A and B are shown apart, each in its own frame.
Chain A
């Protein structure tokens, strides 16, 4: 059963703590992405990766870090430097075939920081 999994679905943290969100895909996709969704706003791109061991900042990368050590995994760390970390985080992947390709999303992780 191919797809993108994100865990956990809900995550609660105290302010000042770093937290890592998991994203795994078994679609054999080269490209992976992290987006953030806030109420009343569209999704905003945090980081993306075209290939293993390579990633680029998106529009709102400050306070976040990523790694891409394996093709199927693209974890996102929300650091204490992120001023407003409470949000719904979505991971996505695409085949990266060299042309525009379909981008599929995981079920999301809702992070609440108090």
Chain B
């Protein structure tokens, strides 16, 4: 079965600093999703990557999928308190009309003033 490992498990950064979260798969990824979650709330969709070498950006968040499609990184530039939360990566293990997602355990991000 597909396994996803996220690193680091938790991260504390000072406001304004850059940071990177990694997501590594034991198998070639069909697709990779990034989500953000505030404690006790639902997941907010950030980005979806499918092609090897693909890179997408939204505001100050950039996600990349490596050429071999086994590793993805999420980079936040000039972090702000609003970036705090849990970041989850999810791997699509099935295509067609429904995509079953397998998730990593998450990276907890704190941004200090």
Number of B interface residues at 8 Å Cβ cutoff, please give it.
28
Partner of B88, one of A43, A97, A110: A43
Please pick, from B92, B98, B102, B105, the residue contacting A48 in the complex, using a CB distance under 8 A. Answer: B98
Find the residue from A44, A50, A105 having the highest chain B CB count within 10 A: A105
Q: List 14 A-B contacts (CB under 8 A).
A: A40-B105, A42-B106, A43-B88, A44-B103, A51-B97, A94-B98, A94-B99, A96-B97, A99-B95, A102-B33, A105-B42, A105-B43, A107-B41, A110-B40
Binding site for B on A (CB under 8 A): 4, 6, 30-31, 33, 35, 40-45, 48-51, 58, 88, 90, 92, 94, 96-108, 110
Chain B residues packing against A (C-beta within 8 Å): 4, 30-31, 33, 35, 40-45, 48, 50, 88, 90, 92, 95-106
